[in-house]
Structure 1
Amino acid sequence: MNTPVTDIPLSPRVRAGYGLGSVTTGSFGTVPGLMLLPYLTDTLGVAAALAGLIVFLPKAWDVVLNPIVGRISDRSTDPRGPRRPFLLLGGLPLALCFALLFAGPPLGSTALDALWVLVMFLLCATAYAFFQVPYMAMPAEITDSYHERTRLMSWRVGILAFTIMLAGASAPAVRDAFGGQSGYRVMGVLIGVLLLLGVIGSYRGTRTAPIRTASESAGTMREQLRLISSDRAFRLLLIVFVVQALASSTMLASVDYAARWVLEDEGAATALFVCFVGPALLLTPAWGRLGQRLGKRRGYLLASLVWIAATPLLFWAGSSATWWVYTVAALAGIGYSGMQLFPMAMMPDIAAQDARRSGDNRSGVYTGIWTAGETLGMALGPGLYALVLAVGHYRSADSFETIAQQPDSALTAVALGFSLLPSLLVALSLIPLLRYREPQQLP
């Protein structure tokens, strides 16, 4: 039963319960970008360009679907709350489909194996949209307090950082422990269980939250999109976020290839990932305090500059000492942690200001467009990296699970996508970020 939303602080149970949803978003946002491309090229033998397309298309579908899901949840009148039922509606099929993604039956051809992955990943992406968009729209309806929403988001960011590191580090380790396609199958089931834990935890954990019924905003879907697209602050921040999501997902897609071909140590994939993501566990509160002192925009700029300075140095990882490579990766991770925190904290400010100005609740539509942009950036990253590999004449597996030897051009492509390309993309994102002006702070 819904209860009135007030400025009374939320209970730790509700804060933690909401934060558990990040176990689902963090796992699904990380593992496919890290594991799916090498699974297609180096296990199933799919050509790099086609593999990139398979990874991209389901995410491109989410770009269209996410705003529609946001509008649907805006109009929900379920007595459990407008968003909460979608956690189960999207989350349960997501966990099942993800377990099946890497567990295709023996179909007898590379083409059919690739088709299985495409269909299952499309189902995963559809289910994820129905979980993610309502989940991210919930904070505005759990509490009216600006500071309580900040505390609520801090739980989410902390659990998200831990989950990204846990899922991203364990996925390649489990695959390597079992080996080959069997390793991918075991990994898929384990991550599917992790997704399920996040779904059930967030649904049960928010059952006592004072969630109000969303007030339906006026106008058609097209009119809502037009109004939001006219919001200059939101438009600029979204561009920055999408380009940086493209940069980080390109880096994510490159980790397995860099470990194998640049560092010549497949086990290094887990260590590299921990170096990239681990700083978020330790430094997110520090970035938050710095943002309070300097402002969120300046903090975001500083975090981006740290990334830009560190990532080009990874181009010479193959000729550098291992400890130096991990140190540089950790420095890039320091920038990455701030690049994750600040836009996540800035977008609700924009949506809240719009609600004050217009009197309409468009949080679902705002969130739908935001997650569509994130999805687009995360989808384009592996596709872009696959294109770089194709240009470098990267050789997919010669036969089932038989890794090909690579020409020098492919090794150069692996290194470029691991270093200079992500740095250049974040540098380009600074152009709209410098033009961004923060909205007036809410009381």
Structure 2
Amino acid sequence: MPGQPAAAPAPPSRSTAGPPGPVAADAAPSALEQAAFGTGSIATGIFVTVPGLLLLYYLTDTLGVAAGLAGVVVVVPRLLDIVTNPLVGRLSDRTRSRWGPRRPWMAVGGLLFPAAFTLLFWAPVTGDAAALWVGVTFALAGFCFAAYIVPWSSLPAETGGTSRVRTAMTSWRTAFVAVGILLSGGLAPVLVEAFGDGVGGYRAMAVCMTALMTVAVAVSVCFGARRSTADSEVVGSAGRRELVALLRSSRPLRTTLLLIMVCETAAAVGLTAAPYIADHVVGSEAAVAVLFVSLVTPLMATMPWWTRRAARKGKAAALRLAGAAFAVGGLGLVPLYFVPEGVRLPVAVAAMVVMGVGFAGTSMLPQAMLADAVAHESARSGLRQAGVVTGTANAAETMASSLAAGVYAALLGLSGFVPSDSEDEVVAQPDAALFTIVGAVGAMAAVAVLLLWITLRRYEHEEPPR
């Protein structure tokens, strides 16, 4: 059939086992285990969302870094994920221990990345020196984060067993991402303000967020990864050559990787823009918490509906609808530049609610599609490759997120946006910068959704062989 390779990539010579196919029904994760797996998303949601929400703003409006340089700092460290995430996935695939291939990596990475996250917001300097500090610590945090998220993300494809269970695990994952986003968008800015704004506020916020991430990671490792146990037989793993051959031959994998990148691009620009919209357009830093509650509440409320919609109409059709909702919400932010100041917050809230409805589908559905594709290819080839493929997907996702933030920062710089190194200083922004703050969100969201619809025309769903 289309997208099916003529011959599977040859497994390494040390492989003696058959395909690590679907998990037996009685061995599939229980609902409680699925929920425990999903709690890891609280940690990943905080780690991804707080930098996406606050890091660029922290650099430009607290540390006094020019917008163009700040954009470079936000983008370049995340590009290292292109190397580290597939590497961690490959090493995880080849790990053999009494706790299975995934849990040792999850445990070590889960201890280290929250600590590195704290350092990110403890810059002892300002200006260009602060840009160097943030860039180095961001790269370190990203490497530690990869050690956790790559093996953790592999679990639905490896332990789910059926498309229904994999979708359920992904739904739990996305539901807890909403909790992480709520804590990040609703609580993190409040903590910064409560602890005195400025550098001290960001430091205290980072310590609080680190504690929450550590607890969430511990639950996912101890209870959510129980099915990832030691193999009774040796199972070969995919190397670099096998991965390249797999991506060339598998249209479902290539398509789902593109879908993940496109959806992450749309989400990242919305997160990056939120504090700028709250502070410079709505006119209140505190409004950022309101905007994120408006985004996350419909995300959590509509998740069961998107799951049912995918089951009835198919994941591709559901994702088209989700993308359309997200684009409408993004474009709904553009009128903020034109309406009177007194009604800007209600308009922003309404737009964020619509974006939240779409965000639920664009967050969950591409990940469920990826889990289906990975499970199919692993069962067909007989190789353990969930780690290296998921690592590649995570690298693509973070690259898209960073590039989206970088493009947004570049557009701000071109618009004449004026940075500040003081929370107490009120900087008058030019009209071009104010329009760019909202206009760039609508334009980038619309372009991303157009690419989403084009990519979905090539999507093919394949169930793993039984």
| Structure 2 counterpart of 1:431 | 454
2:204 is matched with which residue?
A: 186
2:149 & 2:444 partners in 1: Cα distance? Answer: 29
Indicate whether 1:397 and 2:420 are aligned.
yes
Matched, 1:351 2:374: yes
Q: Say if 1:74 and 1:215, in contact at 8 Å, map to a contact too.
A: no
The answer to whether the 8 A contact 1:242-1:373 is kept is: yes
| 2:136 corresponds to 1:119 | yes
**Higher mean displacement: 142-151 or 299-308:** 142-151
Partner residue of 1:35? Answer: 54
**Contact 2:85–2:395 (CA<8 Å) still a contact in 1?**
yes
Shift of 1:31: 0.8
Number of corresponding residues = 438
Alignment partners' CA distance in 2, 1:415 and 1:196: 35
Shift in CA distance, 226/28, structure 1 to aligned 2, threshold 3 Å: same
> Distance in 2 between the 1:147 and 1:246 partners?
27
* Contact 2:38–2:169 under 8 Å retained in 1: yes
1:414: how far off? 1.1
Q: Per the alignment, in what secondary structure is the counterpart of residue 71 of structure 1?
A: helix
Equivalent residue number for residue 166 of structure 1 = 183
**Contact 2:90/2:239, CA 8 A, preserved across alignment:** no
Q: 2:266 and 2:167 mapped to 1: Cα distance?
A: 27
The 2-side partners of 1:438 and 1:155 are apart by 21
* 1:62-92 Cα distance to aligned partner (Å, 9 max, x none): 1221111110000000111100011121111
Q: Distance in 2 between matches of 1:5 and 1:291?
A: 22
- For residues 312 and 406 of structure 1, do their structure 2 counterparts lie closer, same or farther at Cα, with a shift above 3 Å needed? same
Query: Which of these residues, 316, 330, 344, is aligned with residue 311 of structure 1?
Result: 330
8 Å Cα contact 1:142/1:212 also seen in 2: no
Root-mean-square deviation (CA, aligned residues, Å) is 2.1
In structure 1, what is the Cα distance between the partners aligned to 2:51 and 2:62? 15
Instruction: Classify 1:393/1:140 alpha carbon distance in 2 versus 1 (closer, same or farther; 3 Å).
Output: same
Partners of 1:351 and 1:419 lie apart in 2 by 33
Q: Does 1:128 align with 2:145?
A: yes
Is 2:199 aligned against 1:176?
Answer: no
Matches within 5 A, 1:30-429: 30-105=49-124, 107=125, 109-178=126-195, 179-206=197-224, 208-209=226-227, 211-213=229-231, 216-217=235-236, 220-318=239-337, 319=339, 321=343, 322-397=345-420, 402-429=425-452
Decide whether the 8 Å contact of 1:56 with 1:379 is kept in 2: yes
User: Cα distance, 1:197 vs. partner?
Assistant: 1.1
Aligned letter for 2:201?
G
Give the one of 4, 11, 24 matched to 2:43: 24
Residue 17 of structure 2 aligns with which residue?
none
Q: CA 1:294 to 1:69, structure 2 compared with 1: closer, same or farther past 3 Å?
A: same
Aligned residue type for 1:325: A
- Give the whole-Å Cα distance in 2 for the aligned partners of 1:360 and 1:220: 10
Question: Alpha-carbon deviation of 1:276?
Answer: 1.9
TM, length-normalised to structure 2: 0.89
- Hey, what's the Cα distance between the residues in 2 that align with 1:229 and 1:401? 54
* CA displacement 1:239-287 (0-9 Å, x = unmatched): 1221221121011100000111111121111111122222111101101
Q: Per-residue deviation at 1:220?
A: 3.4
Check the 8 A contact 2:260/2:397 in 1, yes or no: yes
The ranges of structure 1 where at least 4 consecutive aligned residues each deviate by more than 4 angstroms after the TM superposition are 398-401, 440-443
Following the alignment from structure 1 to structure 2, what is the Cα–Cα distance between the partners of residues 309 and 163? Answer: 24
Once residues 335 and 400 of structure 1 are traced to their aligned partners in structure 2, the CA distance between those partners, rounded to angstroms, is 33
% same residue: 35
Contact conserved, 1:34 with 1:256, CA < 8 A, in 2?
yes
Q: State whether residues 245 and 374 of structure 1, in contact with CA within 8 Å, keep that contact through their aligned partners in structure 2.
A: yes
Inter-partner Cα distance in structure 2 for 1:441 and 1:167 = 37
